[in-house]
Amino acid sequence: MYIVLFYVCIAVVPNYVIQRTVVDGPSMENTLVNGENLLVEKLSFRLDALKRFDIIVFYPYGHDVEEYFVKRIIGLPGETVQIIGSEIYINGEVLEEDYGKDPITYSGIAEEPITLGNEEYFVLGDNREISFDSRYEEIGIISKDNIGGRAILRIWPFNKFGLID
């Protein structure tokens, strides 16, 4: 019985339920900063429960490559996303949000309208001037298959412990 419980705790929980991850770099400032530890839950996105402005962990080059990014969902499946100047448009309407640290100066591939397919997401880092995100062809649209989970809790540093907005 203890062996089964040990296996569940070591193999099943981190792969399918909840996992700790570390923020690497400044692309999510001021919301998240380099070195912060987060808990990422891995169930809601499988149940189509992701919402606009959720912070996700995803594998831009597929799960075979260990590199992961932490970004905020801006565009949802079926929506059309476009960036004109410093404004983000969803289905032709300006998106009201204040997560960006600085105004957008680079639209990238979102200069032209991008219509997201089923199970596709458009993500941006909160530090829009330096974030390598869906605006860049190398990253582009994020497939649900490449999402690792949704960040829900900051666990380190202790003075910032709490739910992530």
Q: Tokens 């100066």, residue?
A: 105
Indicate which residue of 42, 71, 131, 134 is catalytic: 71
**Strand partners of residue 82:** 89
107 catalytic residue (yes or no): no
Q: How far apart are CA 118 and CA 124, in angstroms?
A: 19
Q: DSSP H helical segments within the chain, as ranges?
A: 2-7, 13-16
* Burial degree of 72 (CB within 10 A; 0-12, 13-18, 19+): buried
The closest alpha carbon to 80, from 70, 67, 93, belongs to 93
Which of the residues 27, 42, 131, 134 is marked catalytic? 27
Q: Is 71 a catalytic residue?
A: yes
Residues annotated as catalytic are 27, 71
